[in-house]
Amino acid sequence: MPDDRRSVSSKIRKFLALPFHGKTNALQAVLIVGKGRFYYRRFFGNFGSRTLLFKPERLVNPRFLHIGDRTMIGHGAHIEIISEYANVQYSPKVEIGSNVYIGPHLYMVCVGRVSIGDRSVLSEHVYIHDNNHGFDPTHGPIMQQKLVHSGDITIGKDCFLGYRTAILPGVTLGDHCVVGTGAVVTKSFPSFSMIAGVPAILLKRYSFEEEAWVRVG
């Protein structure tokens, strides 16, 4: 038997040996891979090889969304990339690197630029928002005022963002940053920073001399 037929036969046997829930999960994975390969790639700025996007809650203007290879975005993501609001035009771009893991229920709204570096990990319910509504009481209802872009957001490579982290406009996190659960990040931090709190403050820096995270202050 040729090698390719032997490989297919082996995969079929493994599939048939799975319990019912295992078969269901395997079929779901095949459908998600197929949707990425044959559907999402037609509409995204870039949809990388072996990247998985589980059923999103809301996906607006994916042509401005560029995703690298082998990245996974969990179910329930709200990704809203706004090119026009209240008769104002924007030039948005979202870049998500390769080998990135994003847990379920990401909430992202972008009118400028949002970048997430390779191999970063975002836990569940992470909030990333690079703009605010207008709150001028002389300019009519809030929902009819133009959006205020308060700065691009950059998350470096190999970062970890804990559960329900909020990243606000203008924030840059360097490579290998760790953000604690529930933190609200309102300002930028350099690479190798461990931060937490509301608003987030620097707690530790990684020391290459000690090969450990060392408390500051």
Contact 152, 114 (CB under 8 A): yes
Angle made by CA atoms 158, 159, 161, in degrees to the nearest 5: 145
pTM: 0.86
pLDDT of residue 40: 81
- How big is the chain by its Cα radius of gyration, in Å? 20
Helix (H) or strand (E) run with residue 201 in it: strand 201-207
Confirm if 126 and 114 have CB atoms less than 8 A apart. Answer: no
Nearest to 71 by CA among 49, 93, 56: 49
For residue 117, give the 3-state DSSP assignment.
coil
E strand spans, 91-176: 93-96, 101-102, 107-110, 113-116, 121-122, 127-129, 131-132, 148-149, 153-155, 160-161, 166-167, 172-173
- pLDDT (tens digit, 9 = 90+) per residue, 196-215? 999 999 999 999 999 999 99
User: Greatest CA span in the chain, whole angstroms?
Assistant: 78
Other CB atoms closer than 10 Å to residue 84's CB: what's the count? 10
The string of pLDDT tens digits covering residues 24-77 is 665 666 666 666 666 788 889 999 998 999 989 999 999 999 999 999 999 999
Task: Give the tens place of pLDDT for each residue, 93-151.
Answer: 999 999 999 999 999 999 999 999 999 999 999 999 999 999 999 999 999 999 999 99
Residue-wise pLDDT tens digits, 156-167? 999 999 999 999
Q: Sign of the CA dihedral 103, 33, 10, 18?
A: positive
Q: 164: which 2 tokens? A: 């329900």
| Residue 167, CB-side half-sphere exposure with 13 Å CA sphere | 37
CA–chain centroid gap for 206, Å, is: 24
